[in-house]
Amino acid sequence: MQSFRHFLRPGIRAPRMTPLAACLAAALALAAPAATATNWVVGNCNDSGGGSLRATVASASNTDTVDLSQLSCSTITLTTGAILIDVGVNNLTLTAGNGAVNAVTIDGGFSAGHHNRVLEHLGTGTLTVKGLIITDAKYSSGPSFQGGCIFSSGSVSLTASTVSHCTVVGSAASNNSVLGGGIFAAGGVYLLASTVTDNIAQAAGSNMALGGGIFSSGNVTAIYSIIANNSVTAGTIQKAEGGGLHASANLNISYSTISGNQAQIAGGVHLHAISGSPTALISNSTISGNGSSDNFLGSGGVYINVPLTLSNSTIAFNTTNSSVAGGLAVYAATAQLQSSIIAGNTAGGVASDFGGSAAASGANNLIFHSSVTVPADTLVGVCPKLQPLADNGGAILTHALLHTSPAIDMGNNAQAFTYDERGQFYPRVFGARADIGAYEWQGGSDNRIFHSGFESGCDE
């Protein structure tokens, strides 16, 4: 089983799968292909020719599985373009085997001078990827600048996989937006125990760039996953949105961390619905250290215009240059806030955690600074005493609470979660009540003390 820690920048760690192994194995077994589908075995790590991934995918039909688990090698480097999943092959699974985690790498070859995506799915169903690393690709051919590593005319599903170091670059003359540095999906995107990191969507001229890590026109779900260190850039202001992800339909983020992403507007998450009645759900998750550079619009952490339910989560240390909100901005919608920390975020260097025009409701929250009315029992102007984003156990980086934190035993578990963000072995309720935020203090001494910078001496 291959590790993928070397793909991640300092401070961002790959999910450890030990607490999830049984769950993943069961899920993968239940998702086995139908009896009528064919299992095609990849025989070598060549770019093309008999037994190669390219040739095996070309032989596959709708609902088939392409199996890379029998390979004696671990890396396939592409030299003659993307792997094409053609029209009519609506649903296809690429797998390194049940329970595998980042076991096989498919390298786009950009470091060797090749400019192409890794996977190009022209079907309208779901491209499913299990146990693979998809990496090192650059797409700049156009006329549609979409998907640096993965392009799908349908939906994309990742399990125990990584998409990293992918870039999509647009042309000033094209008048087309640049969408999805790592993943572009005309349908939805589903992540389970997966990582999308270090991807870039780069627009030129007056064109827009949306979704440094992920662009999806459908529903986006992330469970036990990391979206980190992705970015969007553009040639003019207010044109680069959603450093981590850009979505326009339903959003469901749980047991996940979104950190270190950058944009002009919405460094972490940008959900901009233009039709229908989508909703956003963020639970048992951390959104931290994201940034937006625009001076007029946007939020460093989350910027959405649909009804939001935020439960048992932490939004902290995000920054923006605008006056909107450093942490969470919700517009033209309601915000149901339950047992969540929104603190340590700044706008133009000044404390700014929650803003927009939403009507906020809920209970048992800690919001250091808000420009909109918050529920009556909210702890306002109170330091949560968070420790740095770190490995505090489990599969995902979290902000631990100092033992003196006012968030301890002051939250609720209205959603009846069994575990906190870290998953198995970390109960959601330890002590008299649940703690506020994504992390449940389990007792014991503090590992470290630091200054957050958002209030002098706050985290001591």
Q: Are 127 and 157 in contact (CB under 8 A)?
A: yes
On whether both 324 and 214 belong to a single domain, the answer is no
Average pLDDT by consecutive 10-residue portion of the chain (460 residues)? 33 41 48 71 98 98 98 97 97 94 96 95 98 97 93 98 97 91 98 98 94 97 98 92 97 98 96 91 98 85 96 97 89 94 95 91 97 96 97 95 97 97 96 97 72 43
Adjacency order of strands within the sheet including 209-210:
145-146, 178-179, 209-210, 240-241
Residue ending a domain, choose from 219, 249, 279: 249
Which of 165, 161, 160 is closest to 149 using CA atoms? 165
254 within some domain: no
The beta strand positions in 131-210, using DSSP E, are 132-139, 145-146, 150-152, 155-159, 162-169, 178-179, 183-185, 189-192, 195-197, 200-202, 209-210
Q: In residues, how long is the chain?
A: 460
Pairing mode of beta strands 398-401, 386-390: antiparallel
Residue whose structure tokens are 């207010």: 238
Which of 228, 193, 229, 230 is closest to 209 using CA atoms? 230
pLDDT at 345: 97
In angstroms, rounded to a whole number, what is the distance separating the alpha carbons of residues 327 and 267? 10
**Cβ of 379: how many Cβ atoms within 10 Å?**
19
Residue whose structure tokens are 């949105």: 241
Contacts of 144 (CB under 8 A, 6+ apart): 176
Question: What backbone torsions phi and psi does residue 111 show, to the nearest 5 degrees?
Answer: -65, -20
On whether both 239 and 322 belong to a single domain, the answer is no
Residue type, 12: I
pLDDT at 446: 79
In angstroms, rounded to a whole number, what is the distance separating the alpha carbons of residues 68 and 134? 13
Which of 197, 203, 211 is closest to 269 using CA atoms? 211
On whether both 363 and 220 belong to a single domain, the answer is no
pTM of the model: 0.91
pLDDT at 4: 32
273 within some domain: no
Range of the structural domain that residue 342 is part of = 297-460
Contacts of 15 (CB under 8 A, 6+ apart): 193, 194, 195, 224, 225, 226, 395, 396
On whether both 240 and 358 belong to a single domain, the answer is no
Q: Is 186 helix (H, G, I), strand (E, B) or coil?
A: coil
Residue type, 10: P
Q: Is 28 left (phi over 0), alpha (psi -120 to 50) or beta?
A: alpha
Structurally, how many domains does the chain consist of? 2
Residue ending a domain, choose from 182, 214, 249: 249
pLDDT at 459: 53
pLDDT at 148: 97
On whether both 336 and 453 belong to a single domain, the answer is yes
pLDDT at 13: 40
On whether both 237 and 340 belong to a single domain, the answer is no
On whether both 222 and 73 belong to a single domain, the answer is yes
In angstroms, rounded to a whole number, what is the distance separating the alpha carbons of residues 19 and 76? 29
In angstroms, rounded to a whole number, what is the distance separating the alpha carbons of residues 115 and 101? 27
pLDDT at 447: 65
On whether both 454 and 377 belong to a single domain, the answer is yes
Q: What is the DSSP letter of 87?
A: T
On whether both 240 and 375 belong to a single domain, the answer is no
In angstroms, rounded to a whole number, what is the distance separating the alpha carbons of residues 67 and 70? 7
